[in-house]
Amino acid sequence: MCVDNVFVEDTPYGGAGEYSLHKNAAMLGVKALRLSRELRMLCGLPLHGLSDTLSPTRLVLLKARGKTLQKEYEMVKKSKKTEQEIEDFIKGTS
């Protein structure tokens, strides 16, 4: 593996503990980068965080917020309709 080769050359004094620490840290970093890219792909975001524009990110966030607001609006609308029906029923029976 290329991470392995880099750290073999980077440890001139043969520090085995230091070597394994560096190797494990590098492998963890590579795994974190891979996971980050996979999550970005799943969410429809740019593949790297250094994009010039934030519009794809904002678009995804705005769509999610819009869906949440639409659900809340529908619940309030339904609640108001139910309240009005109850008031009309009460007025009609008195």
Q: Where are the domains of the chain?
A: 1-49, 53-94
Of residues 53, 1, 44, the one with CA closest to residue 26 = 1
Give the list of residues 6+ apart from residue 56 with CB closer than 8 angstroms, or none: 44, 45, 46
pLDDT truncated to tens, each residue of the chain (94 aa)?
455 555 555 555 555 566 677 777 888 888 888 888 888 788 777 666 555 566 677 778 888 999 999 999 999 999 888 888 888 888 887 6
Cα separation, 40 vs 31, whole angstroms: 14
For residue 55, the tally of other CB atoms under 10 A from its CB is 11
Burial of 19 (0-12, 13-18, 19+ CB in 10 A): middle
**CA separation for the pair 30, 41 (Å, rounded):** 17
